[in-house]
């Protein structure tokens, strides 16, 4: 009963809210919503156009290529295998440093909760990926809404920030905001910039991830 009340029921509620939001956004904006104009404008400013788009590239290579490499690295870092590996590694590191079983399982628990909500809500939302955008990597077969990479980044890094706070780690005041907002925010931007998601997909991921962190913090690493 405690698990049902603390985790399962809230997760079902989160899935229902996300699925309803995804369907509503798709219904109102269609498969090529107005928000994608901003994405195309950003890509165009950096000289990126869809395959066969043509046109002159005005952004100097010395500026465009470093930016592309950084966003590529961020997008890769937030990939599924890498995120799973990160979760396992940080569980091990936390156990080694704290010998606290509840803290040690917190990173994996946050990712598991986020993933369950993401997979279910994405299947129900069924939103296609953006159209008419530059997309250098093949997207996953899952629905575009919500952004799983963004949600996982917020869930994992937010939990790490909570662990730093809980255990009074040195440098928590500096590392905390970087982990909680900086890295996940950069990943969310990279997913939009590289044509993998609509902007609202990453916004939804930026809600799901911290929500997952909050549930885990309440149950495993209370203040």
Instruction: Confirm whether 54 is domain-assigned.
Output: no
Predicted pLDDT of residue 53 = 56
**Does 200 have pLDDT greater than 90?**
yes
Predicted pLDDT of residue 170 = 84
Cα separation, 178 vs 133, in Å, equals 30
Handedness of CA 188, 189, 190, 195 (dihedral sign): positive
How many domains, in total, are found in the chain?
Answer: 1
Predicted pLDDT of residue 2 = 63
Instruction: Confirm whether 125 is domain-assigned.
Output: yes
Contact 145, 120 (CB under 8 A): no
Which range of residues forms the domain containing residue 146? Answer: 2-48+60-220
Cα separation, 18 vs 24, in Å, equals 10
**Does 186 have pLDDT greater than 90?**
yes
Instruction: Confirm whether 124 is domain-assigned.
Output: yes
Handedness of CA 21, 23, 182, 170 (dihedral sign): positive
pLDDT tens for each residue of 7-45: 889 999 999 999 999 999 999 999 999 999 999 999 988
Instruction: Confirm whether 53 is domain-assigned.
Output: no
Instruction: Confirm whether 185 is domain-assigned.
Output: yes
**Does 114 have pLDDT greater than 60?**
yes
pLDDT tens for each residue of 42-98: 998 888 888 655 555 556 666 788 899 999 999 999 999 999 999 999 999 999 999
Among the residue ranges 134-143, 144-153, 177-186, the one predicted with the least confidence is 134-143
Cα separation, 179 vs 163, in Å, equals 11
Instruction: Confirm whether 116 is domain-assigned.
Output: yes
Instruction: Confirm whether 119 is domain-assigned.
Output: yes
pTM of the predicted protein model:
0.93
**Helix 35-45 to helix 183-193 angle, to the nearest 10 degrees?**
90
Across 123-136, average pLDDT: 95
* DSSP per-residue codes, 108-143: HHHHHHHHHHHHHHHHHH-PPPPSSS--SSPPPSS-
Across 171-184, average pLDDT: 94
Instruction: Confirm whether 55 is domain-assigned.
Output: no
């Amino acid at each position: 009963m405690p698990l049902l009340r603390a985790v399962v029921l809230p997760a079902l509620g989160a899935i229902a809210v996300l699925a309803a939001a995804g369907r509503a956004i798709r219904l109102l904006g269609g498969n090529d919503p107005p928000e994608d104009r901003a994405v195309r404008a950003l890509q165009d400013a950096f000289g990126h156009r869809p395959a066969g788009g043509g046109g002159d590239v005005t952004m100097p290579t010395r500026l465009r290529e470093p930016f592309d490499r950084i966003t590529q690295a961020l997008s890769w870092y937030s990939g599924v295998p890498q995120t799973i590996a990160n979760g396992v590694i940080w569980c091990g590191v936390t156990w080694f440093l704290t010998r606290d079983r509840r803290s040690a399982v917190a990173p994996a628990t946050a990712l598991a909760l986020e993933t369950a909500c993401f997979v279910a809500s994405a299947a129900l939302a069924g939103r296609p990926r953006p159209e008419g955008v530059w997309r250098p990597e093949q997207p996953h077969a899952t629905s575009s809404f919500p952004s799983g990479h963004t949600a996982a980044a917020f869930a994992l890094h937010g939990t790490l920030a909570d662990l730093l706070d809980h255990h009074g780690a040195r440098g928590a005041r500096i590392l905390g905001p970087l982990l909680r907002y900086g890295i996940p925010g950069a990943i969310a931007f990279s997913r939009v910039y590289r044509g993998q998601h609509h902007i609202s997909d990453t916004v939804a991921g930026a809600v799901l991830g911290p929500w997952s962190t909050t549930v885990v913090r309440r149950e495993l690493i209370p203040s």
